[in-house]
Amino acid sequence: MDLTINSQQRCFEGTQGFYSHDSAICGGAMNFAVYQPPQAKDGAKVPMVTFLSGLTCTEENFTAKAGAQRVAAELGLMLLMPDTSPRGCGYPGEDDDYDLGSGAGFYLDATQAPWSARYRMYSYITRELPALIAEHFPVDAGRQGIFGHSMGGHGALTIHLKNPGVYRSVSAFAPVCAPSQCPWGRKAFTAYLGEDETLWEDYDSCALIRRQPSDAKIFIDQGAEDPFLSEQLKPDLLVAACEDAGQHFEFRMQPDYDHSYYFIQTFVEDHLRHHAKTLT
């Protein structure tokens, strides 16, 4: 699989790069960013943590705003930052709303036309992109973790819960915890998956935990002043699901923090150390 290097720059003795490729699964060009830590040299393979971003984001938001590279360099973690959806599909309404279409792929495989042809972010993130990364970067595919923010927190939790042996560590910042029960998720799931809500459970962390908890510890930070907390994120539902199902978790409510990347950059070191405990 071919890869285009759009830019590469030195960063904490490692390399921060932006790349694109032609995705068979998403039916067009996709962008992503990778941070290679200094330990990834002379043939040495390093563990990788994938960060899934939230609504309106591209591969650039976390890469430029989270300040994760310094600690990733210290811990020897490769970071993979995918885009949040296919782009330029030409579907009606694709660019009209911030919470549907471009920038809002919700990390699922759409089953409803027209989205089903290209909005296949679940398969892209779990199959095509890791294979491409393994071909072009010195990654140890047996040591992978996943984390994310908001819509990307939902993606990280669901992808871990559906693939606990591949994504061995998991964490999230302000995740959409129960997409079947909040306006962002219900709008996206109706459009992408259709009206049958029983089919939504496959992409709902609370339902997945109740069905089959994982052996990992789910680590979550949430800002207490997050404007999306009660209507969209609903961490109380995830905490209840974890408690009922016996899922190991740590949930931290952070006083005074909001939903922004200032919140993320404050706690990103804790998240990377959480992943390193399992992966290194």
What residue ranges bind ligand LAXINWYW (CB under 6 A)? Answer: 54-57, 61, 65, 98, 149-151, 259-261
Pairing verdict, β 14-23 and 28-36: antiparallel
Shortest spacing between CB 181 and ligand LAXINWYW, in angstroms = 16
Instruction: Please give the full DSSP string across 110-122, using - where no structure is assigned.
Output: --STTGGGT-BHH
- 37 versus 179: smaller Cβ distance to ligand LAXINWYW: 179
Single-letter amino acid, residue 84: T
Known active-site residue 83? no
Cα 157 to Cα 15, 42, 73, 172, 206, distances in angstroms: 28, 33, 25, 7, 9
Cα radius of gyration (the chain): 17
Known active-site residue 260? no
* 3-class SS of residue 239: helix
Q: Using an 8 Å Cβ cutoff, are 218 and 157 in contact?
A: yes
Shortest spacing between CB 55 and ligand LAXINWYW, in angstroms = 4
Shortest spacing between CB 280 and ligand LAXINWYW, in angstroms = 28
- 85 versus 150: smaller Cβ distance to ligand LAXINWYW: 150
Known active-site residue 23? no
- 88 versus 98: smaller Cβ distance to ligand LAXINWYW: 98
* 3-class SS of residue 108: coil
- 32 versus 137: smaller Cβ distance to ligand LAXINWYW: 32
Shortest spacing between CB 199 and ligand LAXINWYW, in angstroms = 22
Q: Which residues are known catalytic residues?
A: 150, 226, 259
